[in-house]
Amino acid sequence: MKKLLNTLYIIQPNRYLSLDGENVIINDQHEVIGRVPLHNLDGIYGFGCNGVSPALMGKCASCSKPIVLFDRNGRFLCRCEGKVTGNVLLRREQYRVADDYVSSLEIAKNMITGKIFNSKYVLKRALRDHSDRLDTEKFKSKIEQLDNSLLMCKTIQSKQELLGVEGEAAQIYFSLMDDMILQQKDFFKFSSRNRRPPKDAVNALLSFTYSICTTMCANALEGVGLDPYVGFFHTDRPGRCSLALDLVEEFRSVLCDRFVISLINRKMINENHFEIKENGTYLLTDEGRKIFFTAWQNKKQEVITHPYLDEKVQWGMLPYVQALLLARLIRGDIDGYPVFLWRN
| CATH code for the domain of 92 | 1.20.120.920
The tally of domains found in the chain comes to 2
In a domain, 338, yes or no: no
> Do residues 74 and 143 share a domain?
no
Mean local confidence (pLDDT), 7-30? 82
Confidence of residue 98 (pLDDT cuts 50, 70, 90): very high
**How high is the pLDDT of residue 255?**
95
> Do residues 26 and 92 share a domain?
no
Q: Which residue, 45, 80, 115, sits at the end of a domain?
A: 80
Instruction: Assess whether pLDDT exceeds 70 at residue 73.
Output: no
Confidence of residue 83 (pLDDT cuts 50, 70, 90): low
In a domain, 315, yes or no: yes
Is this structure's pTM higher than 0.95? no
> Do residues 93 and 55 share a domain?
no
> Do residues 100 and 232 share a domain?
yes
Distance CA 246, CA 220 (A): 13
Q: List, in sequence order, every beta strand (DSSP E) within the chain.
A: 6-10, 15-20, 23-28, 31-37, 41-47, 51-52, 67-70, 76-80, 274-276, 282-284, 303-305, 312-314
Measured at the alpha carbon of residue 278, what is the angle toward residues 272 and 202, in degrees to the nearest 5? 45
> Do residues 38 and 180 share a domain?
no
CATH number assigned to the domain comprising residue 10: 3.100.10.20
Instruction: Assess whether pLDDT exceeds 60 at residue 4.
Output: no
Mean local confidence (pLDDT), 81-110? 86
**How high is the pLDDT of residue 167?**
93
> Do residues 29 and 94 share a domain?
no
Confidence of residue 71 (pLDDT cuts 50, 70, 90): confident
Confidence of residue 120 (pLDDT cuts 50, 70, 90): very high
Cis status of the peptide bond prior to 197, with omega within 30 of 0: yes
CA 319 to each of CA 21, 146, 187: distance values in angstroms, whole numbers, following the listed order: 31, 24, 32
Q: Which residue, 80, 113, 137, sits at the end of a domain?
A: 80
Whole-number percent of the chain with pLDDT over 90: 49
> Do residues 221 and 118 share a domain?
yes
> Do residues 258 and 322 share a domain?
yes
> Do residues 314 and 230 share a domain?
yes
Structure confidence by residue, pLDDT tens digits, 181-234? 999 999 999 888 887 778 889 999 999 999 999 989 998 898 888 999 999 998
> Do residues 74 and 96 share a domain?
no
Structure confidence by residue, pLDDT tens digits, 28-55? 877 888 888 888 777 787 877 778 888 9
In a domain, 203, yes or no: yes
Range of the domain at 19: 6-80
> Do residues 62 and 101 share a domain?
no
Structure confidence by residue, pLDDT tens digits, 266-294? 999 999 999 888 777 888 888 998 999 99
Structure confidence by residue, pLDDT tens digits, 55-66? 988 888 887 777
Please name every residue paired with 15 in a beta bridge, in sequence order, or none if there are none.
28
> Do residues 191 and 276 share a domain?
yes
In a domain, 343, yes or no: no
**How high is the pLDDT of residue 343?**
80
In a domain, 344, yes or no: no
In a domain, 201, yes or no: yes
In a domain, 342, yes or no: no
Structure confidence by residue, pLDDT tens digits, 238-252? 778 899 999 999 999
